[in-house]
Amino acid sequence: MTPPAETDGRSIAYGAAFAEGLAQMMDADPNVFVAGEDVGRAGGVFGSFRGLNERFGDMRVVDTPISEQAIVGLGTGAAVSGLRPVVDLMFMDFMLVAMDQIVNQAAKLKYMFGGKATLPMTITTSAGAGLSAAAQHSQSLEAMLCHIPGLKVVMPSNPYDAKGLLISCIRDDNPTVFVKHKRLLGLKGEVPEDPYEVPLGAASTVRSGDDVTVVTYGRMVHEATSAADAMAAEGIECDVIDLRTLQPLDMDTVVQSAQRTSRVAVVHEAVRFGGLGGEIASGIAEEAFDYLDAPIERIGAPFSPVPFSPVLEKEWVPNAELIGERIRALAAA
């Protein structure tokens, strides 16, 4: 794995790291442009595009109509024509409006065309619950995308990865989906100023331990790490693996850890049933069957839409306490 770039101790927010990476790619490559609702003059509803329109103008930071299908199609058509578009879908839930353009068009074009097309497009969006934004503004739908050959999918958990993965996505010659978590936008962390890549398809072990492997990604990395810290106080040491890229999955790192610890929990915020956890857990079971001392624990949201009321939503989102309980049970099993 590439060594982390130098940070010089500079700490910036996750959202700012995203913006910085994007601006640097636009600076470096005149083919990179951004399009989406409110990304131009308004600088994006989460402020992630602030200042870009002033700097790069209306053709490179394009305010679009509320037309998610056309936004993705704009990216696809421009990418096939040699540009390197970054198109924004604001909330991951809105991806569903553009699902044909993402899944039937962008993901398959190259293959259907016998390899002739190249589609260096990055779709950016924001997922996750916890803001009382209710059922249509809170989903984590990455499992749908990861099932589709032709797409790559990343969900960074921290500012360093947000910048590095975005740069890797933009530089990748395939359609990539970059998923921010809304509740991480303000999270600060060390981020090198110069551009750098976090390679696609490489997980990162954010905490080491020999008792239990916790495989997770996105915001759940933080809940899992808290849980692991709490467990350490009880003498249970966890490997916490941040997958970072979900398609392609870095199963090597996961399986190696599982073989060492023999006990695994997979954690995501998305609904548990049919979530990526099933793929990960069964993948591990296939590769590490003889090593496992207990059933793999899958933790995800319960089987309901995301409720509005904070008291219900809190119950819905998996948290450190729940993860800790499961790790404890797993270690004892």
Partner 1 sequence: MDPSPETLLDLHRRMVRIRHFEEAAGRLAEQNRLPGFLHLYVGEEAVAAGVCANLDDDDQISSTHRGHGHLVAKGGDYSGMMAELMGKATGYCGGKGGSMHICDLDLGMLGANGIVGGGVPIAVGAGFANKYRGTDRVSVVFFGDGASNIGAFHEAANMAAALSLPVLFVCENNEYGEFTPRDRTMAITDVVDRAAGYGMPGAIVDGMDVVAVWEAAHEAVSRARRGEGPSFIEAKTYRFYNHHGVQTLGMKYRSDDELEQWKQRDPIELFEDRLASAGVLGADGAQAVHAAAEADIEAAIAFAEESPLPDPDSLLVDVYTPAVYSGAAS
Ligand X SMILES: Cc1ncc(C[n+]2csc(CCOP(=O)(O)OP(=O)(O)O)c2C)c(N)n1
Among 15, 21, 40, 156, binds partner 1 (CB under 8 A): 40
Identify whether 268 is a catalytic site residue. no
- Give the nearer residue to ligand X in terms of CB position, either 37 or 161: 37
Q: Which x/- pattern, by CB under 8 A, does the window 85-124 give for partner 1?
A: x-------xx--x--xx--xx---xxxxxxxxxxxx----
Contact 179, 165 (CB under 8 A): no
Token code pair at residue 119: 């589609």
Distance CA 331, CA 237 (A): 9
Return d(Cα 281, Cα 35) in angstroms, integer: 37
- Nearest residue to 240 via CA among 184, 158, 165: 158
One residue of 130, 164, 275, 318 binding a copy of itself per CB under 8 A: 275
Reading the block at residue 160, the tokens are 């360093």
Task: By CB under 8 A, tell whether 73 contacts a copy of itself.
Answer: no
| 329: contact with ligand X by CB under 6 A | no
Interface positions, 74-113, toward ligand X (CB under 6 A): 90, 94, 97
Residue of 20, 37, 197, 279 that binds ligand X (CB under 6 A): 37
Asked if 301 and 271 count as a contact pair (C-beta separation under 8 A), the reply is yes
Residue from 134, 187, 202, 322 binding a copy of itself (CB under 8 A): 134
Question: How many CB atoms sit inside 10 A of residue 311's CB?
Answer: 7
Which tokens belong to 232?
Answer: 């350490």
Q: Which is nearer to partner 1, 24 or 213 (CB)?
A: 24
Smallest gap from residue 94 Cβ to partner 1 (A) = 7
The footprint of ligand X on residues 47-66 (CB under 6 A) is: 66
Closest CB to ligand X among residues 163, 181: 181
Residues 68 and 97: beta-carbon distance below 8 Å: yes
**Least distance in angstroms from the C-beta of 145 to partner 1:** 14
Q: How far is the CB of 80 from ligand X (least distance, A)?
A: 20
DSSP element (H, E) containing 190: strand 188-190
Secondary structure (3-state) at 78: helix
Query: 78 touches which of partner 1, a copy of itself, ligand X, none (CB within 5 to 8 A by kind)?
Result: partner 1
Q: How far is the CB of 302 from partner 1 (least distance, A)?
A: 6
Strand-pair partners of 32: 84
CA–CA gap between residue 102 and residue 83 (Å, rounded): 17
The residue written with tokens 């039937």 in the block is: 104
**What is the 8-class DSSP label of residue 152?**
E
Q: Show the site string, 206-225: x = touches a copy of itself by CB under 8 A, - = not.
A: --------------------
Q: How far is the CB of 299 from ligand X (least distance, A)?
A: 29
Catalytic residue ranges: 137
